[in-house]
Amino acid sequence: MSILLIHTGGTIGMEQTEHGFAPRIGIVEDAVADLTASGQAEGPVEVLRLDPLIDSAQATPDDWRRVARSIHQAAEVHDAFVVTHGTDTLAYTAAALCLSLAGLRKPVIVTGAMLPLTVAGSDGLDNLTAALSAARTAPPGVWVQFGGQLLHGARVRKSHSTAFDAFEAAPSDVPPLLPSRQSALNDVRAHKVGILSVAPGCCAELFAHAAAACDGLVLRCYGSGTAPDTPAMRRALQAAHDRGVPVLAVSQCPEGGMRLGTYAAGKVLQDTGVVDGRDMSPEMAFAKMQFALSLSGDFDSRRDFLGSNQCGEMLGTPD
């Protein structure tokens, strides 16, 4: 079984510099070579390094597309894929890969580390070894192997900024991959997507500006789907609707998700055509918005795409 490992950067392959941790070529490559040479990981493992290696804070939808394309182009040659990635935006990339690699019948395992392989006590080698092993055994789809867990790529979130088990994901019966009879690549293009949280007495001008300036908006609402119902908020959300800017609502609560319509205080969202993101993570919501805007369809078909379960990212059966 042959594995392609795509190294994008992140803490796992960093070393200390005068400005703090930064990526260096060769760290992950050497670790993979050592693991296969010592028999701790089964080969062959080909390593593809994305140039330049980045801290994932620098990642953009163009980087998601580069990783997805590399996997799609190598799908005939390799049996499984491992992506080494920075943890800060790993959940966004995992979400984007779920939406990109329609119908891929192979596992894609995304991993990283909280401490560089170059630092004593690093979790990098454990995560790398487990990811290479999961690449051989996991079902098709995009998974995140981290801190001893294999997590659903469409539902994963970074939930801790320092602990080794930094990620969690609610389980789903739906595989983490866009279903399709044939393997196909959904290309994403970068759009102006805003992500805004409501807060008591929050600045309404910010929402009005976002409605005028953005191509799509993710709105982080309270609890099961409420927001301040003020004339200014109504005007802003209506302006977005009138401009054809999709607005996707997700909850600020990490668990449970939205139930739009439970409270009258959520009516402002329904009246202005905001899409109910149910229990989707904000990371997935942001990535899904980029894909919705990359679709060739109109406003309504984008809203349908956003509001329906594509790859287990939200409650409900896939449409």
Q: Taking contact as CB under 6 A, which single stretch among the options 5-13, 66-74, 133-141, 174-182 is the one that binds ligand ASP?
A: 5-13
The 52-71 site mask, x for binding ligand ASP (CB under 6 A), equals: ---xxx--------------
Q: How far is CA 159 from the centre of its chain?
A: 13
- Cβ of residue 58: shortest distance to ligand ASP, in angstroms? 8
CA neighbor of 7 nearest in space, from 61, 75, 74, 81: 81
- Cβ of residue 56: shortest distance to ligand ASP, in angstroms? 3
> Which residue number, 27 or 245, has a Cβ lying nearer to ligand ASP?
27
φ, ψ dihedrals at 245, nearest 5°: -95, 110
The answer to the question of residue 10 lying near ligand ASP (CB under 6 A) is: yes
CA neighbor of 115 nearest in space, from 14, 42, 203, 39: 14
> Which residue number, 86 or 175, has a Cβ lying nearer to ligand ASP?
86
Q: What sign has the CA pseudo-torsion 216, 222, 226, 230?
A: negative
Q: How far apart are CA 10 and CA 84, in angstroms?
A: 7
Q: Taking contact as CB under 6 A, which single stretch among the options 60-68, 86-94, 193-201, 287-295 is the one that binds ligand ASP?
A: 86-94
Catalytically active residues, by annotation: 11
Name the strands in the sheet holding 141-146, side by side, starting at the edge strand that comes first in the sequence: 45-54, 3-9, 80-84, 107-111, 141-146, 149-152
8 Å CB contact between 227 and 274: no
- Binders of ligand ASP among residues 102 to 131 (CB under 6 A) are 112, 114
> Which residue number, 20 or 171, has a Cβ lying nearer to ligand ASP?
20
Helix (H, G, I), strand (E, B) or coil at 63: helix
Name the residue with the smallest CB distance to ligand ASP: 86
In this structure, what DSSP letter does residue 234 have? H
User: Which of 11, 127, 272, 310 touches ligand ASP (CB under 6 A)?
Assistant: 11
User: Which of 72, 75, 80, 86 touches ligand ASP (CB under 6 A)?
Assistant: 86
> Which residue number, 9 or 175, has a Cβ lying nearer to ligand ASP?
9
- Distances in Å between the alpha carbon of 2 and those of 39, 82, 86, 124? 15, 11, 24, 21
> Which residue number, 114 or 156, has a Cβ lying nearer to ligand ASP?
114
Q: Which residues bind ligand ASP (CB under 6 A)?
A: 9-11, 55-57, 86-88, 112, 114
